Chain A
Amino acid sequence: MSAPAVFFYLFGAAAVVSALAMVLNVRNTVAAAMSLVVTMISLAVVYVTLEAHLVAALQILVYAGAIVVVFLFVVMLLNLRRDTFAPSRQLLTKGAGVVLALGVAGAFLQLVPQALPTVQEIPPDFGSYAAVGRTLYRDFVLPFEVTSFLLLAAIVGAVVLAKRRLD
């Protein structure tokens, strides 16, 4: 097995384990946020094995850096009690959930591997800053500009929502 494949399986498993640790941790929200950091960094390594170098760098900057820091800020501001899972539903609902999950998993294992394409050869600059930048600014200029409006709306919305009183 080649080195990228080894790292893919290793850090893919790490991402799954820390994601489970995040979802199942009901005692401590800060620890859950830290598990989210581990998931994000593991996924950045997974992105590198998929030759997505620019996206891996942005994953660490934006997710593991900015987004989790915002989460930790909010956890610090709030006084969180111990969480519990939602009360268990009726037997029929649980059974329906199990049947649905098994059906989806079976369909996935049966159908998806046949439908997937074979992995093609890639050019040597695949996923580099220059190549992604060319695609972004040549073919996707309009979506790129529209995201700036989305960010502006999100900034204004966050300030309006979190402000105590609007004058």
Chain B
Amino acid sequence: MPVPLAHVIALSAILFAIGTVGALSRRNLVVILMSIELMLNAANVAFLGFARAWASLDGHVMVLMVIVVAAAEVAVGLGIVIALFRNRESVDVEEVSLLKW
């Protein structure tokens, strides 16, 4: 007997909520990027749950695309973190508020 789809979606929602809390409340830029990775993984769980329920492989292909986007995002994001640390000696987002209104 397979896992009910509602439980898979619940796991996805819980992980997404934890990632949102981390991205909004932490101030260390590296941990914020990790939280965004967690949110992308929560989306992957939902994709795979629906793919299993509808017996369709399109969701698996979407997850591969999400993994590629996540890898690209980490490379660019951590490049920005290093450039930021070189200029400011800090990765605290509260100290980088030039574009904030």
Q: Please pick, from A113, A116, A120, A135, the residue contacting B58 in the complex, using a CB distance under 8 A.
A: A135
Contacts of B38 in A (CB 8 A): 19, 22-23, 36, 39
Beta-carbon contact of B3 and A49 below 8 Å? yes
Within A150-167, which residues are at the interface with B (CB < 8 Å)?
A: 150-151, 153-155, 157-162, 164
Contact code string B41-73 (vs A, CB < 8 Å = 1, else 0): 100110011011111011011011101111111
A90 within 8 A of B: no
Contacts of A140 in B (CB 8 A): 58, 61
Give the nearest-CB partner of B2 in chain A. A119
Beta-carbon contact of A86 and B78 below 8 Å? no
Contacts of B13 in A (CB 8 A): 108
Q: Please pick, from A26, A120, A161, the residue contacting B54 in the complex, using a CB distance under 8 A.
A: A120
Number of residues on chain B facing chain A (CB within 8 A): 67
Interface of A is mostly: helix
Q: Please pick, from A8, A33, A131, A143, the residue contacting B57 in the complex, using a CB distance under 8 A.
A: A131
Within A92-128, which residues are at the interface with B (CB < 8 Å)?
A: 108, 112-113, 116-123, 126-127
B99 within 8 A of A: no
Q: Can you identify 24 A-B contacts, CB atoms within 8 angstroms?
A: A1-B1, A8-B8, A16-B18, A19-B19, A23-B26, A36-B37, A39-B38, A50-B8, A50-B48, A55-B60, A55-B63, A71-B78, A78-B91, A83-B26, A86-B24, A123-B55, A126-B55, A135-B60, A136-B64, A139-B58, A140-B58, A150-B68, A157-B75, A161-B83
A residues near B (Cβ < 8 Å) are 1-2, 4-5, 8-9, 12, 15-16, 19-20, 22-23, 26, 29, 32-33, 36, 39-40, 43, 46-47, 49-52, 54-55, 58-59, 62-63, 66-67, 70-71, 74-75, 77-78, 80-81, 83-86, 108, 112-113, 116-123, 126-127, 131-132, 135-136, 139-140, 143, 147, 150-151, 153-155, 157-162, 164
